[in-house]
Amino acid sequence: MFKEPATEKVVIDGNKRKYARLARPLRFYGGTTSATEVGCNLRCKFCFSDAPVRKPHTTGKFYTPEQVFNALSKSARKYGHKLISASASEGTLGKQHLFELLELVDKSEFIYVLETNGMTIGHNPEFAKELSRFKNLHVRVSIKGASEKEYVRLTGAMSSSYSLPYKALDYLIKEGVSCNACLSISFNSPENMKKAEKRLTDIRPGLLKSLEKEH
């Protein structure tokens, strides 16, 4: 389901956002340091995140952008990571918090990977335009399923919102924001995969070269 306004009220307090954990080393992208956010605007049936998504009221603590950045940068320097991120929930919730965090990243040597399902950006092209001012940013757009039917099965959301991550990628590319797509493939047929890949190619052929596939 698409629940952004209700979820934001729970996990955002001014410029603070809820996190379950501030920094941990991960193997992705050759090594990255990631915080664990709380709160998502989708309720995917097979989501690995569990409590940060399903129990936002009772999970995590509120932190300022400075607290999050300081924890991420300290851990990243310890492990020699260039990339930092926040994962396990929806990265676009709490725009003030996110943008203040990205401003701090822009003054550093790190690249921030924004993890998103594309709902917010696809619904609001102005969001992509605002993101374009940050130079140390890469956006990873996760597409839940290779067809509307699988999307509804995975998320329980309205089928019409399946187009939003594709729109998000289109808006980001037009605004010059570094981005790539990640496609959930666990329950998809080869035919639907080809259709999804064609849809990405129509936005920009290069999206297939950087396409990630996850089960």
Mean pLDDT of 13-22: 98
Q: What is the DSSP letter of 89?
A: S
Mean pLDDT of 169-192: 94
**Token digits for 204?**
């920009």
One domain for residues 53 and 126: no
- The total of other beta-carbon atoms located within 10 Å of residue 45's CB is 9
First to last CA, the chain: 20
Q: Lowest-pLDDT range, 36-50, 76-90, 95-109?
A: 36-50
Please check whether residue 111 lies inside any domain of the structure: no
Which pLDDT does position 3 carry in this prediction?
Answer: 54
Residues 49 and 124 in one domain: no
Print the domain residue range for 156.
117-215
Judge if 146 and 185 occupy the same domain. Answer: yes
110-135 average pLDDT score: 98
Position 52 scores a pLDDT of 93
The token duo for 185 is 């493939």
pLDDT over 70 (residue 156): yes
- Classify residue 47: in a domain, yes or no: yes
Residue 209 DSSP class: H
Same domain, 76 and 131: no
Is the predicted pLDDT of residue 2 greater than 70, yes or no? no
Structure tokens at 25: 């080393």
Which helix (H) or strand (E) segment holds residue 99: the answer is helix 95-106
Element (H, E) at 54: helix 51-54
What does residue 146 show for φ and ψ, rounded to 5 degrees? -100, 10
Q: Are residues 121 and 205 in the same domain?
A: yes
Q: Tell me, what's the pLDDT at 47?
A: 82
Query: Are 8 and 86 members of one domain?
Result: yes
Together in a domain, 90 and 2: yes
Residue 45 has pLDDT above 90, yes or no: no
Confidence category of residue 102, pLDDT binned at 50, 70, 90 = very high
Q: For the chain, what is the domain count?
A: 2
On whether both 208 and 133 belong to a single domain, the answer is yes
CA–CA gap between residue 146 and residue 169 (Å, rounded)? 15
Model confidence band, residue 117 (pLDDT cutoffs 50, 70, 90) = very high
Ramachandran bin of 156, using left for φ above 0, alpha for ψ from -120 to 50, beta for the remaining angles: left
Is residue 59 included in any domain, yes or no? yes
In-domain check, residue 5: yes
If asked whether residues 123 and 48 sit together in one domain, one would say: no
Whole-angstrom distance, CA of residue 13 vs CA of residue 39: 13
Domain-embedded: residue 105: no
Strand 32-37 and strand 16-26: pairing?
Answer: antiparallel
What value does the mean pLDDT of the chain take? Answer: 95
For residue 205, tell me if it sits in a domain. yes
User: Would you say 164 and 49 are in contact if contact means Cβ atoms under 8 Å apart?
Assistant: no
Residue 200 near residue 211, CB atoms below 8 Å: yes
Same domain, 147 and 58: no
Place 4 in a pLDDT band, splitting at 50, 70 and 90. low
Mean pLDDT, residues 157-186 = 97
Say if residue 214's pLDDT is above 80. yes
Please say if the pLDDT value at position 55 is more than 80: yes
133 occurs within a structural domain: yes
110, part of any domain: no
The pLDDT score that the predictor gives to residue 49 is 82
| Average pLDDT rounded to a whole number, residues 60-64 | 99
- For 18-36, the pLDDT digits (tens) are 999 999 999 988 899 999 9
